[in-house]
Amino acid sequence: MSCYLGAGLCGYSYADVIAPKVADMISETTSTETEDENDQPVDFLADEVQYDEDNGIVTATGNVELVQAGRILRAEKIVYSLKEDNVQAQGDVVLNETTGDTFFADSVELEDGMKDGFIRGLQGVLADGSRFTAEEAQKIANLKVIMRKATYTACEPCKSNPDKAPIWQLKARNVTHHKDEARIAYDDATFEFAGVPLAYIPYFSHPDGSIKRKSGFLTPTMGFDSELGASYQQEYYWNIAPDKDATFGLGVFSEEAPLATVEYRQRFENAIITLSGGATYSGRTDFIDEQDVDIDAEERGHLFAEGLWNINEKWRAGTELKIVSDDQYLNQYDFSNEDVLENTVYVERFSDRNYANIRAINFKDIRTSDRKEDQPNVLPEVYASFIGDANQTFGGRWDVETSLLGLQREGDDQDVNRASAKLGWERRDVTNFGLVNKVTLSARGDVYKVDDRDIASLANQRSSGSSAVRGFTQANVQTSYPVAKNFKKSQMVIEPIAAVTVGTNLRENDDIPNEDSQDVSIDATNIFNTNRFPGYDRVEDEAFTTYGVRTGVYAENGYKGEVFLGQSYRLDDDNNPFPDGSGLEEQKSDFVGNINISTGEALQLNYGMQLQNDNFASQRHEVDASTKIGKASFNTRYFYANALQGTDLDESREQINFGAKYELTDEWSMLGDVRYDLADETEGLRFARYGLDYQGQCVNFLVSARRNLTRDSSGDSGTEVMLRLGLKNLGEFETSGFSIGSEE
C-alpha cells in the first residue's frame, strides 16, 4: 500500500501513533513537553507511505510532515515497526514547538515500549534565542534524559560569522535531566567567555523550571566594603513543603566575623507568616556625647516578623515586629535604611466605603544624630470612618469619623489620651454655565487627658496632669470655573479657584499638647484643605479664604504643560495658630505653586515652590527633572526648605542630587550619581557613585564604586566597590544594583 502528497490525509491511523512518539522523544529530552497533546488528531503528509503487512512496518518517505496540536515534525524518513514497537526518524529531523522553540536532529530512535531512545546530532534554538547542542541524547525509562558532550548559550550567533564562538557558553561532558526530581545536573562543566575557558565546575545542578520551588543553593554574591572588607555571601533555599520554605545564609568578611541569616515563610489557608533574622559578632562606631566612639566586638543581630490573617471577607488582623541589637547594624549590613522601626499589632475591617482599625504600636528611633528622640508607645489607636452614598442626604453625602489614641512614654515623660469624633456633609454641583461648586460642613469634638505634661518646667505652678474638651464646627464653600479652548492639535484649560472657610473661634489652650501637628508646611496639594495642620492636635480656626488659578496646555501626542499658583488669606490677623516658617504665620500666606512639564524623553519637569508673600523670598523649592539629549541623559533633584520654628527642623535644609548617563555605544554606558549638601552648616559632598555599564544581548555587566560621606556612627559611611554580572537565563552575580539619581 502506498499513498502520495496529493491525498491530503494519508495513513491517518499510523500517524496517530508515530507523530506523538517521535515528537515527545525530542520534547522530553529538551523539557518542552505539554499536557494532553497525544489526545489531539494528527495531520500526516508524505511523498510516499508503504506498509509491509508481513513484518508490520510502516515507512513514510519524502518530505514527511506530521502536525499535532500545533507542533510540526518534519523528516526525510520515518519507520515504525509495530512488532518491535520501534520508531526511527532519519534525515534532517526538525520539530517546531508551539512555544516557538525549534529542534534539529540527525536521527531519532525509540524502543522498549517507547520508554528508551536515542537522539543523535541534537540542536535546539529556543524562542528566547538560546541555543544548545548535544552529540547524543539518551532517554532512560521515562525517568531521565542524558545529553553527552552538550553545550548551552543564551547568546545569538554573530550575523557576519555564525561559526564564531558566542560571548559565553557552558560545555559539559554530561547533562542529565532527572525528570523524577525536576532537576538538571552538569558533570565536568566548563564556562567559556569568547571561546576562552574561564571556570571549571566539576558538578552543579539547578531546577528544570517545571516546578516553581526546589531546594538548592542560590546565586552567591561578592563585593568589597571599606568597613567589612572583601565579602562572600551564600544562601541555601529549603523547600520544606508546598506551604512552607526557609532560606539559610552565611556572609564571610575579611575584616569582620561572619554573619548568619535565616528566613522562614509559611502560608496557611487564610494566613501567612514570615520570620527572618541575622546574628554576628562584630564591632561598630556609636554616637555618644556628640562624638563617634568605637565599640569593641559584641553580639549583634536582628529579628523581623510579619504575619497576616484574613479572618473573613471583612476582617483581617496582622502584626509586624522589628528588633535590632543597635542603631548601626541594619545600615552596616545593608538590611534596611529606616530611621525609625515600627512594631505593630492591628485589626482592620473593610465594608464598602467604610473602614475601621485598632492598632498598638511601639517605635524605636535608630537615628545616630541629635534628632533622635524617645518615641512614645501607641496603646491603643482606634479609628473608624463611615461614608454615606452620594446624593443620599440633601443632595450630598455624609461621613462620620471617630478616633481614640493613647500615647504612653516611659518614666515621667508626657502621656496623652485623646478621643475625637467628626460628623461631615459634602455636596458637589455643576451649574448650567459650567461653575463647579462644592460645599462642605463639619462638626468635631475632642477630649484630652494628659499626664506628666511637657510645659516649660511648669513655671506657672500648673499641675503635671490636665484634661481638656474642645468643640469645633466649620463650613467651606469652594468654587471653580474651568474654561477650555481647543486648538488644532491641543487644548488649553484655565481654571480660577476660590474658597471661603468659616470655623469656630478657638482660644489657645495649653492643656492640649501638640503631638501630631508639628511639621506644618503648605504646597500646591494642600493649600485648599480646610485644615492645613496635619493630625488632630491643632485646628485651623476662624475664617479664611483661599484663591488660585490652574492652567494647562495638553497636546494630542501626550505632551503637556501645567501651572498652578495659589495663596490663602486669614480674615482676622489676631490669634494666628501657625508657627513661624510654616508659610501660614501671617495674615497673607506665602504663595505656593507648581509647574509640571512633560515632553516625552526630551523633558520631564516637576517644580514645586513656596515664596514669601511680601517679597517673594524663597521658602521652599522642590525640583525633579530629567532629560535626554542624544546619547546623554540627566536626572536632577533639588530640595530647599526653610527652618520651621517649634520642630526638630530648626535649620534650613538644601540638597541636590544629580545623575548622568552617557551611551558610549549601543552596549556600553558611563554612569554617575552625586548628592551634595548645600546648607551653610553642613555643606559638602554626601554621596558619590560612578560606574561602567554593559548591556548586551545575552550578558550585562556593571562595575561601580560609591562613597558615602556621613558619620562613621551611621553605619552607612564608607567606600564600596560593586560588581554585577548577569548571564541571560542563568541569573545574576551581583553585589548591588545601580539606579541613576536614586536616593540612598
| Cβ count near 650 (within 10 Å) | 11
The 3-state DSSP class for residue 516 equals coil
C-alpha grid cell, residue 410: 516611659
Residue 417 clears pLDDT 70, i.e. is over it? yes
Q: Domain map of the chain by residue range? A: 5-209, 215-373
What is the pLDDT confidence band of residue 2, given thresholds at 50, 70 and 90? very low
Q: Partners of 570 in the beta sheet?
A: 544
Q: pLDDT tens across 231-282, in order?
A: 888 889 999 999 999 999 999 999 899 999 999 999 999 999 999 999 999 9
To the nearest whole percent, how much of the chain has pLDDT over 90? 44
Q: Which fold, 5-209?
A: lipopolysaccharide transport protein A fold (2.60.450)
Say how far residue 470 (Cα) sits from the centre of its chain.
43
Cα distance between residue 438 and residue 188, in whole Å: 75
Inter-residue contact 167 to 696 (CB < 8 Å): yes
- State the pLDDT at residue 113: 58
What is the pLDDT confidence band of residue 370, given thresholds at 50, 70 and 90? low
Where does residue 169 rank: exposed (0-12), middle (13-18), buried (19+ CB within 10 A)? buried
What is the pLDDT confidence band of residue 728, given thresholds at 50, 70 and 90? confident
Per-residue burial over 578-591, b if 16 or more Cβ lie within 10 Å, else e, is bbebbbbebeebbb
Q: Nearest CA to 118 among 22, 15, 19?
A: 22
What is the pLDDT confidence band of residue 455, given thresholds at 50, 70 and 90? low
Please list, in sequence order, all residues whose beta carbon lies within 8 angstroms of the beta carbon of residue 621, skipping any fewer than 6 positions away. Answer: 607, 608, 609, 610, 638, 639, 640
Q: pLDDT tens across 295-353, in order?
A: 888 999 999 999 999 999 999 999 999 999 998 898 888 888 788 899 999 999 999 89
C-alpha atoms less than 13 angstroms from C-alpha of 106 in its C-beta half-sphere? 8
C-alpha grid cell, residue 361: 504600636
Cα distance between residue 632 and residue 191, in whole Å: 35
Inter-residue contact 672 to 662 (CB < 8 Å): no
Q: Partners of 499 in the beta sheet?
A: 478, 546
396: DSSP letter: B
Residues in the chain: 744
129: DSSP letter: S
- State the pLDDT at residue 719: 81
